[in-house]
Structure 1
Amino acid sequence: MSKVPIDVAEIKSVLKVAMQKIEALEQLVAVKENPDSHSISATELSTVELIDRAKKHLQWSRAKGQMMDPGNGLFSDGCWNMCLDIYICNLNEQPVTVSSIAHSSGIPMSTAMRYINVMTEQKLLQKSVNPADNRMVFISISADGMENITQILVNTPF
């Protein structure tokens, strides 16, 4: 029995897989090089479109964490999810409390507070006291944070 047909079959199989990878890379490059994908500016997107993009990012991030490592948090993006939640609430003109953002992000309150404090120090978030109840703190995206997240949402394909 000749070994040549087996070797040819193996080579064809490897080449087929390589071609599939090359085609996938070409599609990625085509998306990145597409001038229309980078010509959108933040001013051309409505608030509704920005909220929709932020919600898609948030859904993707949560699904990734749940599918890859349910319950252990290895693939979760706690800070990013918190920022997106706050961003969405800010665009909807809804106040956000520390406890509500910790609960919606699914991370412990102490961790959420640490993240919020660091992001506040980095001027991505701002804190303000609820005038009706001084014990309650509202969290919002700073102007810099709003601009940064908006640019990420504008420059990503979904």
Structure 2
Amino acid sequence: MDSVKAELAELRLTIKQANEKFEILDKIISDSADRTNGQQSFNGTGVDMIDRAEKCLHWGRQKTGTLDTGNGLFADSCWNMCLDIYICGLKEEQVTVSSIAQSSGIPMTTAMRYINVMVEQGLLEKSANPSDNRMVFIAVSHECRSKIETLLSSAPF
């Protein structure tokens, strides 16, 4: 009798997992149809946006690592830096110039040059660290955040 109960419990679990997969696939198909019809159906929370941004950042780094032969042709350094800063902002973490340079894998001078250009264009904002005047914090501007969220909302994942 115990073996029948165990087999029944296993079958119930299998059916439950199958139903969950059906629901996921149904949502993917529905979302895909909405995008095909020109409708934007994603309206995510901060956690959803972090997940989407992290997937996009991971994909970009994977693309660069796979295709780039050291010449930088497939690198999206500014985009990756913006995404990284955006993710940290959603997680309420402060980002320094040196930390973003290190995480993006580009030289500090190049990162500083890109950051300065993005600050001039209103995409990023700098603020002084009140406890250490040598350190500067970087954040995406409200306008840049809005643009990133628009892009992430329409991403196909």
Q: TM-score range by the shorter chain?
A: 0.7 to 0.9
CA RMSD of aligned residues (A): 1.7
| CA distance in structure 1 between the aligned counterparts of 2:113 and 2:122, rounded to whole angstroms | 14
Displacement of 1:70 after TM fit? 4.1
Partner of 2:45: 46
Counterpart amino acid of residue 45 in structure 1: G
Structure 2 counterpart of 1:33: 36
Helix, strand or coil: the match of 1:76? coil
- Identity over aligned pairs, percent: 60
Residue 133 to residue 47, structure 1, CA distance change in 2 (3 Å): same
Q: Point out the more displaced range, 65-74 or 104-113.
A: 65-74
In the other structure, the counterpart of 1:128 is 127
SS of equivalent to 1:157: coil
Instruction: Check whether the contact 2:123–2:144 (CA below 8 A) recurs between aligned residues.
Output: yes
Question: Quick one: distance in 2 between partners of 1:50 and 1:89?
Answer: 12
Tell me how far 1:69 sits from its aligned partner.
1.6
User: What are the Cα deviations for residues 94-150 of structure 1, in whole angstroms up to 9, with x where unaligned?
Assistant: 000000000000001111011100100110100000000011000001000100001
Q: Distance in 1 between matches of 2:108 and 2:34?
A: 39
SS in 1 for 2:95: coil
Write out per-residue CA displacement over residues 60-96 of structure 1, whole angstroms, 9 at most, x where no aligned residue: 1001111112433220100000000000000000000
CA distance in 2, matches of 1:32, 1:145: 23
Superposition pairs of residues 116-155 of structure 1, within 5 angstroms = 116-155=115-154
The answer to whether residue 83 in structure 2 is matched with residue 89 in structure 1 is no
Gaps of 5+ in 1: 1-28
In 1, Cα distance between the equivalents of 2:54 and 2:136? 24
Runs of 4+ in 1 over 3 A off after TM superposition: 29-32
Which region of structure 1 is more displaced relative to structure 2, 44-53 or 95-104? Answer: 44-53
Give the whole-Å Cα distance in 1 for the aligned partners of 2:48 and 2:37.
Answer: 20
TM-score calculated relative to the size of structure 1: 0.75
